[in-house]
Structure 1
Amino acid sequence: MRLAPGAYDYAAVPAVLALVLLVAFPPASVVALALAFAVLAFFRDPERTPAEGVARDAAVAAADGTVSVVRTETDEDGRERVRVGVFMNVTDVHVNRAPLPGTVEAVEHVPGGHMPAFTKTAERNERLHVDVGGLNSENEYRLTQIAGTVARRCHSHVDAGDELAAGERFGHIAFSSRVDVLLPPRFDETDVLVDEGDRSVAGRTLLARDPRAASHDGDEPQ
């Protein structure tokens, strides 16, 4: 089973504790060992490949979990942008994937609090922004990993200049948290294919239909 980076570091603490408790109090040793295996299971990183044509026709989900935010907001350049947020609980896979292809332009860590990741106040939490560009400003989007009450570490696997394919891993978060996608300006809420409360699977669930692909479909002869 493939694991996200850092899995063994987190699992080492309960594993060592299990060895110590094996002498002092064997029943507790079993609990500690079970916790070590639970940590490894949490960091599981299954292989996933988006369906053929997804990179052209749609954006895919960035995270496993429950869709907690779908809204339109105004970005710093005054453009209307759609934000889709997914809350991950401790049983979800926490490896995050790129919804669309592009080039990483910047990776920025922002310090903050650790409120529950499913609340509105979580937008002031510690977070990590990954800005992805394309051939022009209509292709740019932002991925934001948001720390939660338990989640204290947002990990990026990419650096500025890296190329991302749709569905490719870009990072992971240690324990329950949230991932937001600020879609490119060409998308609006009518293009979004999920609703708040829906379940999503990173790299597999279709997040939003690309309006350019839809218009091309309409141009095809009948």
Structure 2
Amino acid sequence: METILSVFVPIHREGHKFIGVFAIATALLFLMQVPSFFVMVGIILTAWCAYFFRDPDRVTPQKEGLVIAPADGVVQSVKESVPPAELDMGSDTCTRVTIFMNVFDVHVNRVPVDGKIVRQAYTPGKYLNASLEKACEDNERHAILMETASGKNIAFVQIAGLVARRILCWAEDGKEMNAGERFGLIRFGSRVDVYLPKGVNSLVAVGQRAIAGETVIANEKGREKQRDGAIR
């Protein structure tokens, strides 16, 4: 039973209408008696859509100061960068961790720290490949500034990609949230950037796979230097 439940995880409500459209279209193709190839394609697309919108529970580490990955995907880059101008955080650089989500990753996004939502800013833009460096400036995005439980500022940004056409965010200004809580979703393939508090180093390496709500990407109270990774 546990194995079955691990495969058939809950589906996020945002996916119900898309799954329904694919399922109805597939049923119509079957009733119209079109070649079986097209019916099979419809079945595959319906199954993929259900898979894309899966929303599994996660076990979030509980310790003061931890910064948890906000998205599933591969750590694409860890570098010094100026936070988004729309959040009015100044021109000083801080460590930015970029997590790239492909169309097979879970796309439900989670809050990286315990704290309060201070400010949000939606910026319309292009739909360039999210893996490009300039995507953080040119693409459609939704930026969030949070004050951590220790009083530091941390920012995280949902960025649309080449396939993504809709950023969803249900975080509310002034709301207290806990690390690992769901705050948004991006359809279909994109990235999330995290701007760590000044002086806080990343604990993940480029190429490492992150799991939203579980992978520790930094520790506000730690003094460990940036980690390197090696393919084994």
1:84 aligns with 2:94: no
Residue correspondence of structure 1 range 15-26 to structure 2 within 5 A: 15-24=23-32, 25=34
Q: Distance in 1 between matches of 2:181 and 2:149?
A: 19
2:181 to 168, 174, 178: 168
What CA deviation, in whole Å up to 9, does each residue of 1:36-68 have, x standing for no partner?
121011111110121232xx1421111111111
Tell me what 2:4 maps to: none
AA in 2 matched with 1:111: P
CA distance in 1, matches of 2:49, 2:173: 30
Quote the offset at 1:213 in angstroms: 4.9
Distance 1:147 1:74, change over 3 A: closer
Cα RMSD for the two superposed structures: 1.9
Does the CA contact (< 8 Å) of 1:94 and 1:174 recur in 2?
A: yes
Following superposition of structure 1 onto structure 2, how do residues 190-201 of structure 1 map, counting pairs within 5 Å?
Answer: 191-201=201-211
Residue 117 of structure 2 is aligned to residue 104 of structure 1: yes
- Show the 5 A alignment for 1:129-168: 129-134=143-148, 139-168=152-181
Partner residue in 1 for 2:212: 202
* Number of residue pairs matched by the alignment: 208
Deviations, residues 68-101 of structure 1 (Å, cap 9, x unaligned): 1211123452333111010011111111111111
Compute the TM-score of the two structures, normalised by the length of structure 2.
Answer: 0.83
Does the 8 Å CA contact 1:99/1:203 hold for their aligned counterparts?
Answer: yes
Q: Which has the higher helix share?
A: 1
Mapping of 1:35-114 within 5 angstroms?
35-53=45-63, 56-75=64-83, 76-114=89-127
SS in structure 2 at match of 1:193:
coil
Tell me, in whole angstroms, the C-alpha distance in 1 between the residues paired with 2:126 and 2:135: 8
- The reply to whether residue 7 of structure 1 matches residue 20 of structure 2 is no
- CA distance, structure 2, for counterparts of residue 79 and residue 90 of structure 1: 34
Deviations 1:164-186 (A, max 9, x none): 11111111111111000111224
Overall identity of the aligned pairs, in %: 35
User: Normalising by the residue count of structure 1, what TM-score does the alignment of the two structures yield?
Assistant: 0.86
Question: SS at 2:13's partner residue?
Answer: coil
* Structure 2: gaps (5+ residues): 1-8, 84-88, 225-232
Q: 2-side partners of 1:51 and 1:82: how far apart?
A: 22
SS at match of 1:6: helix
Secondary structure of the structure 1 residue equivalent to 2:24: helix
Inter-CA distance 99–83: structure 2 relative to 1 (3 Å threshold)? same
Report the equivalent of 2:86.
Answer: none
Aligned partner of 1:218 in structure 2 is none
1:122-156 Cα deviation digits (max 9, x unpaired): 121111112212467x5111111111111111111
2:18 and 2:91 map into 1 onto residues whose CA distance is 42
Give the aligned partner of residue 219 of structure 1.
Answer: none
Q: Which amino acid aligns with 2:73?
A: G
Distance 1:126 1:194 in 2: 26
Give the Å deviation of 1:31. 2.0
CA contact (8 A) 2:113 2:148 kept: no
Q: Could you tell which deviates more after superposition, 39-48 or 12-21? A: 12-21
